[in-house]
Amino acid sequence: MSSLFAPLTLGDLSLRNRIALPPLTRCRSEQPGNVPGTMMVDYYRQRASAGFMVTEGTQIEPRGQGYAWTPGIHSEAQIAGWRKVTDAVHAEGGILFCQLWHVGRVSHNELQPGKQPPVAPSAVAASGVRVFIETGPGAGILTEPSMPRELTTSEVKAIVAMYRTAAENAKKAGFDGIELHAANGYLINQFISEHTNFRTDEYGGSLDNRLRFLREVTEAVSSVFGSHRVGVRFAPLFSSTEEERVYLGLVESDPQATYLRAAQMLNALETGYLSIAEADWDNSPDMPEDFRKALREAFRSPIMYSGRYTKEKAERMLEKGWGDLFGFGRTFIANPDLPARFKMGYPLNDVDSASLYGGSQKGYTDYPFYSA
């Protein structure tokens, strides 16, 4: 039997396998209010045989939204909606973390309270990505992000406090832990990156200063759940693409130095796990092996990898000792019983790309379980 089916200890949790549902934006929350509804309960329940599950990105406050119909974790109705999701997953013996998300500059005035500009470390517009705005009930368009405004130092500290509140809300909603979205060019990544952070206060300048926001947010949410119930997701890109995309990330002049320093910092904070989102566009190059090895040295707790993973690639990574847990995105969307299919060698359903973002049960909760 594949070692993907060996249990894994994550802090004080025991995962029944190494097959994870990674965070996947699906834009299926109920309106008004971006509330998780019955459809989302069914979707997560169906996939609860995963050893580990992370929710789609969940905005910590109204300004943190960059796409129509993504769920939040800042209102009582949202907390109650998520409680139904966690209850359903726990009834199946699953483990579910909430991914706390703030998009920062990757947003649009139409999505912002009072149609204000989005907020960011510095007033630099995002390029090469799209945001999704509603044009009518159940209808929307992809468009360019709006020009952001720079946060004041006191506003940055207020957002750190919002992350703590979001973690408290996630705890009330019954989540087992939280993951911080520090990847794909969103707010935490904007603070880390030399391309988006031109601040002159304690949150800008040196790499340690650019990592300060991540450090403070990690400490804030760890005070709620304990550090071992907190994960951080990075997208350490070593190259980019001209491909038209909804999300991407930022390529640092020295990605290895940037992310190894971040990993060392999180290791010292005893963070529960690192989640690495690899380049996932067509013909994207493999992550450098020396980076994988160095990351393993820098960070001693479990490391999760995802980005176009196959069962075979995950097994190779396990064998080499570079990763512990593997996220299967589109494959898990299309195969709610993915662990059983991997175990038994059953054929896989194909994903329907047209129904990934927004819509009904079609392409969401109607993918069939395997039947012989």
Could you list the active site residues?
A: 186
| CATH code, 53 | 3.20.20.70
pTM exceeds cut of 0.85: yes
At 230, give phi and psi (nearest 5°): -125, 135
Any domain includes 275: yes
Domain-located, residue 11: no
What pLDDT was estimated at residue 283?
Answer: 79
Contact status, residue 265 vs residue 294, Cβ threshold 8 Å: no
Asked if residue 64 belongs to a domain, the reply is yes
Residue 305 lies in a domain: yes
Residue 262 lies in a domain: yes
pLDDT tens-digit readout, 182-204: 999 999 999 999 999 999 999 99
The tokens for 199 are 């601040």
Q: Answer yes or no: is 288 within a domain.
A: yes
Q: In degrees, to the nearest 5, what angle opens at C-alpha 253 toward C-alphas 251 and 255?
A: 65
Q: How many other C-beta atoms lie within 10 A of the C-beta of residue 370? A: 15
Q: What is the DSSP string of 213-274?
A: HHHHHHHHHHHHH-GGGEEEEE---SS---S--S------SSHHHHHHHHHHHHHHTT-SEE
The answer to the question of residue 168 being in a domain is yes
Domain holding 198, by residue range, is 19-355
- Pick out the chain residues at pLDDT < 70: 1-2, 244-248
Instruction: Specify the pLDDT at position 187.
Output: 98
Domains in the chain, number: 1
Domain annotation covers residue 240: yes
**Cα 258 from Cα 256, distance rounded (Å):** 6
The tens digit of pLDDT for each residue in 115-147 reads 999 999 999 999 989 999 999 999 999 999 999
What is the rounded CA–CA span in Å between residue 213 and residue 196?
Answer: 14
Question: Token pair for residue 96?
Answer: 């579910």
